[in-house]
């Protein structure tokens, strides 16, 4: 018994090194297969990279476009904060990744324009013009090229660009205000009044936001977005009537219009133009309409005070050669738009 038991223990003890050796060998074999698998994957990716399949290119393209879009978003964020230098840097970085992004060129041009770097702004807008195809984007480009023409004193070219912007769907109130300001500066008062009256009519149109919504939807639909395309098929051909838009709370819309400072600025311009045309009564009406909307409009306050003081001093005077009221400064000129 004791001899047999001793032999069994010795045998078990002798087999332990063999089992340990087999375990170590198995681990080495497994590691070898793992390394071979990793090598095979790397070789496979290398072959795929050399053959450049379409699906792999699409993955890379999506990544590149995502990086460019991130740069654009950072630029837009800086622009909204008024940090135009940082915005320009972000847009330039984004264009290094995707130089064919017309929308980024467009935003870069606006940022340059805010920094009064006119030559660079023009270059950016012209690049955007060569790349952008949607009417809304092209309308913005034409509008800004008109602004540059105005800055550089090319009145006819500016008017041509503004007309092009209007034809391609730019907001009529903004285009007419810029056109009117241009005529006002050139002392073409009849043309200036006509333009500002058209701007005022557009500003008082409660359906303008609806039409702008459709324009934005058309831009999205042009990219192939199926949901937007389906939505447009339902709504694009509709022309809302007075009865249709009452459900959007007509009273609220009218209150919004009645408190819009941009409408007050338009009335102030029209008041100045009427005065220069020898119509002081109409001028007073427009200055008072401006102050009814925006009581703190300093330009309208000044203009109205000057006009009333002259009327008191010489009630029968109707001279068009008298010194006009204060010319609205930059705060009352049409702002740039993005």
In a domain, 23, yes or no: no
What domain range includes position 118?
A: 55-170
Contact in structure between 164 and 142 (CB atoms under 8 Å): yes
Among 160, 128, 134, 133, CA closest to 147: 160
DSSP 332: G
pLDDT value of residue 119: 96
Do 184 and 325 share a domain, yes or no?
yes
Angle at 194 between CA 191 and CA 195, to 5 degrees: 85
Give per-residue pLDDT as tens, 13-37: 555 555 555 565 656 666 666 766 6
pTM tops 0.85, yes or no? no
Contact in structure between 110 and 125 (CB atoms under 8 Å): no
pLDDT value of residue 144: 97
Do 142 and 289 share a domain, yes or no?
no
Point out the residues of the chain with pLDDT beneath 50.
Answer: 1-12, 48, 55-56, 59-60, 317-323, 327-338
Contact in structure between 332 and 268 (CB atoms under 8 Å): yes
pLDDT value of residue 323: 47
Mean pLDDT (the chain) is 77
In a domain, 83, yes or no: yes
Give per-residue pLDDT as tens, 169-212: 898 999 999 999 999 999 999 999 999 999 999 888 777 766 66
Do 127 and 266 share a domain, yes or no?
no
Of 154, 170, 186, the last residue of a domain is 170
């Amino acid at each position: 018994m004791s001899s047999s038991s001793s032999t069994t223990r010795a045998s078990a003890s002798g087999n332990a090194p063999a089992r340990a050796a087999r375990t170590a060998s198995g681990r080495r074999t497994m590691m070898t297969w793992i390394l071979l698998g990793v090598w095979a994957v790397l070789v496979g990716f290398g072959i795929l990279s050399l053959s450049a399949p379409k699906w792999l290119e699409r993955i890379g393209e999506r990544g590149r476009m995502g990086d460019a879009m991130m740069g654009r978003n950072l630029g837009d964020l800086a622009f909204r904060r008024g940090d135009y230098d940082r915005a320009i840097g972000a847009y330039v970085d984004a264009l290094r990744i995707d130089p064919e992004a017309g929308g980024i060129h467009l935003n870069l041009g606006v940022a340059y324009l805010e920094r009064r770097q006119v030559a660079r702004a023009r270059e950016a807008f012209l690049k955007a013009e060569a790349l952008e195809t949607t009417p809304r984007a092209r309308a913005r480009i034409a509008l800004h090229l008109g602004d540059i023409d105005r800055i550089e004193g090319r009145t006819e070219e500016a008017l041509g660009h503004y007309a092009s912007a209007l034809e391609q769907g730019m907001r009529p109130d903004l285009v007419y205000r810029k056109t009117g300001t241009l005529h006002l500066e050139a002392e073409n008062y009849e043309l200036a009044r006509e333009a500002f009256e058209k701007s005022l009519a557009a500003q008082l149109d409660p359906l303008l936001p609806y039409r702008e919504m459709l324009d934005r939807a058309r831009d999205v639909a042009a990219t192939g977005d199926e949901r937007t395309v389906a939505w447009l098929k339902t709504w694009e051909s509709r022309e809302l009537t007075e009865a249709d838009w009452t459900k959007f709370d007509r009273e609220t819309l009218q209150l919004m219009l009645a408190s819009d400072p941009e409408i007050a600025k338009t009335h102030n311009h029209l008041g100045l133009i009427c005065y220069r045309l020898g119509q002081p009564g109409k001028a007073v009406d427009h200055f008072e309409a401006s102050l009814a909307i925006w009581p703190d409009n300093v330009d309208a306050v000044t203009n109205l005070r000057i006009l009333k003081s002259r009327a008191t001093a010489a009630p029968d005077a109707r001279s068009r050669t008298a010194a006009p009221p204060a010319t609205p400064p930059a705060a009352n000129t049409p702002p740039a738009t993005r």
